[in-house]
Amino acid sequence: MLDATVRLNGAVDDGLAMPRLGFGVWQVPPDVVKESVSTALSVGYRSIDTAAVYGNESGTGEAIRDSGVPREEIFLTTKLWNNRHGDLAPGAFERSLDRLGVDYLDLYLIHWPCPAADDYVATWEQLLELQRGDQVRAVGVSNFTIEHLQRLIAETGMVPAVNQVELHPWFPQAELRAFHAEHGIATEAWSPLGQGQGLLDDPNLVSTAERLGRTPAQVVLRWHLEIGNVVIPKSVTASRIAENFAVFDFELDDTARSTIAGMDRKERIGPDPAGFNLDSPAAEPA
C-alpha cells in the first residue's frame, strides 16, 4: 500500500502532511487556470502547485475559494521568483498571498537558487523567518543541487522541507534523491511526465502500459510514487486530469520497473540550476 501523503520534516510546523499527488499549473493561462484547478479539485486532488512567475495565482485562488473544499483540506504551494531574493522576499510573499486570496500557504519555495547572485542563503533565512510567523506552514526550495543544499544546511542549520526538482524517467536524479533521503527532505518531481510528448511515446513504455491495462502517464506517475516522490502532473484536459489521479489502485511489476530504468538518458529537459540565473522583470507583478 502506498501512502497518499508524506510527513514533512525540516523547516515545517509539526506533523504537516503533504499529498504525494498534486496538480501543477505552469503554463496554464490565467483565463484557463480557474477551470483546470476546479476540475482537479472535483476529481479529488488536494494539492496545488503554482508560482508567482506563472502569472496565474489569482485564478488558482479563485478556483480554491469557489470549490466548496475547505481551505484547510487543500495543500497550497507557491514560489518566490528570482528577482525577489533576499530582503525582497517578505513583500513578494505578501503579494502572492494577496493574489491567491488566502491568509496562509502550506508551502513556500525559493524557485531557483540563481547561484551567480550568491544570495540564496540570505533568501533561505528570509523564508525561515516567514515560517516562524503564522502565514506559512513549511518552507523549502526548488532546483537546488546537492551543493546548494549542503550550503544551506551548513550555514543555517535548517533543512528545507522539500526540494522540487526536474525528475522523470529520462532524468531520475538517483544521487539527489539519496541525499534527500539522508537528510529527510521530501523529493518533489517537476515535469514528472517529462512534459508529455516524447517521453510518453516511448515504445517500451507504451507496450508496458498496454500490458498493465493502464496509460503511459499512469505508469510513469505510479513509478514516481513507488520510488518515494511527490508528483505534480499538469494538464488542462479534464479526462487527463482524472487519468493522472487514478494511480493508487495498481502496482508496477519488475518488468515495468526495468523498462523505466532503461529510459534513463541522464539529460534534463529544463535548465541546469548551476547555470540558471534568469531575472525576468515581467516575472512578478508589482
Q: Which residues are catalytic?
A: 54
Question: Which segments of 200-278 does DSSP mark as H helices, in order?
Answer: 203-212, 216-226, 238-245, 254-261
Does 192 sit near ligand NAD (CB under 6 A)?
A: yes
State in angstroms the smallest separation of the CB of 242 from ligand NAD: 9
Cell numbers describing residue 88: 525582497
- Binding of ligand NAD by 268 (CB under 6 A): no
Cα–Cα dist 112/14, whole Å = 26
Nearer to ligand NAD, 10 or 54 (CB): 54
Phi (first) and psi of residue 19, to 5 degrees:
-60, 140
What grid cell was written down for 214?
A: 493502464
For residue 19, state whether it binds ligand NAD (rule: CB under 6 A). Answer: no
Position among 6, 149, 200, 252 found at the interface with ligand NAD (CB under 6 A): 200
- Out of 37, 41, 47, 49, which residue is the one contacting ligand NAD (CB under 6 A)? 49
Number of residues that bind ligand NAD (CB under 6 A): 25
Q: Name residue 89's amino acid.
A: A
- Rounded to whole angstroms, how far apart are CA atoms 102 and 76? 10
Torsion of CA 227, 233, 237, 241, to 10 degrees: 50
Per CB under 6 A, does 145 bind ligand NAD?
no
Nearer to ligand NAD, 14 or 31 (CB): 31
Using the minimum distance from each CB to ligand NAD, give the nearer residue, 202 or 243. Answer: 243
Whose CA is closest to 189, among 1, 6, 64, 10?
6
Q: Of 172 and 192, which has the nearer Cβ to ligand NAD?
A: 192
Q: Which stretch binds ligand NAD (CB under 6 A): 90-98, 100-108, 174-182, 191-199?
A: 191-199
For ligand NAD, the closer CB: 32 or 153? 32
* Per CB under 6 A, 142 contacts ligand NAD: yes
Cβ-proximal residues to 127 (8 Å cutoff; 6+ apart), any chain? 11, 80, 89, 108, 110, 136, 139
By CB under 6 A, is residue 162 in contact with ligand NAD?
A: no
Q: What angle do CA 129, 132, 133 make, to 5 degrees?
A: 100
- Supply angle C-alpha 82, 71, 248, rounded to 5: 85
- CA end-to-end span of the chain, whole Å? 46
From candidates 38, 164, 173, 187, binder to ligand NAD by CB under 6 A: 164
**Residue selected from 186, 243, 252, 284 as contacting ligand NAD according to rule CB under 6 A:** 243
User: Segment 51-110, which members bind ligand NAD (CB under 6 A)?
Assistant: none
Minimum Å distance from CB 28 to ligand NAD? 7
The Cα–Cα gap between 23 and 57 comes to: 14
For residues 19 and 93, what is the distance between their CA atoms, to the nearest angstrom?
22
Q: Which is nearer to ligand NAD, 134 or 147 (CB)?
A: 147
Binding site for ligand NAD (CB under 6 A): 24-26, 49, 111, 142-143, 164, 190-196, 200, 215, 217, 232-235, 240, 243-244
